[in-house]
Amino acid sequence: MPFHSSRRKFLQTTLTGSMVAGAAAVIPGLESCKTTQKTATNTLPLTALEQTPLPYAFNALEPAIDARTMEIHYTKHAAAYAKAIKEAVDAEAPGKSLESLFPVVSKYSTKLRNNGGGHYNHELFWKTMAPNAGQLGAGKLKTAIDASFTGYDQFKTKLTEAAMTRFGSGWAWLYLDSDKKLQIGSTPNQDNPLMDVSTVKGTPLLGLDVWEHAYYLKYQNKRADYVNAWFSLINWDFVQKRYDSLV
């Protein structure tokens, strides 16, 4: 049996639902081998190592998030992650995508893990917010949220709880697990559910930054008020399209 065929057969017969979404990348040498198995990560565009332009002005999300916070967050914090991840990938894994590194991130440096997550998470964060964001409209995502969390209100309660119980810095997530079911959870620091080191595993659909740098100027210690305001910014059109491309 040709090498690739035997590897593919191995994957098809031994991968289980408990393994990481996109687990093909875990098998060394498999990245260049096209598998017939559709994984949760392979239909999304890869994240460039450079920052993409913010899709709106710094003041566009006011009053929920103030312009000064957005400016510092994008031009200082997120820019620093982008600079450092480029250095780390060039040094440790030239040419590799973040999406292929996260499932094996434990094999790489803390610099690559922290800044890889920092860059990826923020690139997603900016896109999942929008000024004058609409409601979650009828569609596959709304149906799945209603089925998974018995409605939008319970979804909001659970995601708020994940954000509020994350001690210190981190992220709260709505993500798709390897069975393509919606899940809510949180990760510390700049980790995310694509990483092998994460206790919650899957593909992020929506992430909420609960580092103090995301809200302290306006909200100080009142994380709950920031979290509540953030719900009014969710770019459901973007999240819906992301979900549709994965299921």
For the bound state, the minimum distance from the C-beta of residue 217 to Mn ion, rounded and expressed in Å, comes to 13
Name the residue nearer to Mn ion (CB basis): 69 or 198: 69
Three-state DSSP state, 147: helix
The residues with which 175 forms a beta bridge, in sequence order, are 183, 204
For the bound state, the minimum distance from the C-beta of residue 147 to Mn ion, rounded and expressed in Å, comes to 31
For the bound state, the minimum distance from the C-beta of residue 214 to Mn ion, rounded and expressed in Å, comes to 5
DSSP-assigned letter for residue 41: S
Name the residue nearer to Mn ion (CB basis): 8 or 73: 73
For the bound state, the minimum distance from the C-beta of residue 125 to Mn ion, rounded and expressed in Å, comes to 7
Residues 6+ apart with CB under 8 A from 226: 65, 214, 215, 218, 219
Name the residue nearer to Mn ion (CB basis): 74 or 152: 74
Query: In 3D, which of 83, 113, 79, 87 has the Cα closest to residue 98?
Result: 113
For the bound state, the minimum distance from the C-beta of residue 206 to Mn ion, rounded and expressed in Å, comes to 15
- The gap from C-alpha 28 to its chain's centroid, in whole angstroms, comes to 24
For the bound state, the minimum distance from the C-beta of residue 82 to Mn ion, rounded and expressed in Å, comes to 12
Q: Which two tokens stand for residue 233?
A: 């910014």
For 223, other C-beta atoms within 10 Å of its C-beta total 18
Residues 6+ apart with CB under 8 A from 177: 21, 183, 201, 202
Name the residue nearer to Mn ion (CB basis): 100 or 128: 128
Question: DSSP characters for 82-102?
Answer: HHHHHHHHHHHSTT--HHHHG
Nearest residue to Mn ion on Cβ basis: 209
Name the residue nearer to Mn ion (CB basis): 177 or 209: 209
Given the rule CB under 5 A, which residues bind Mn ion? 209, 211, 214
Name the residue nearer to Mn ion (CB basis): 34 or 222: 222
Distance separating alpha carbons of residues 106 and 16, to the nearest angstrom: 21
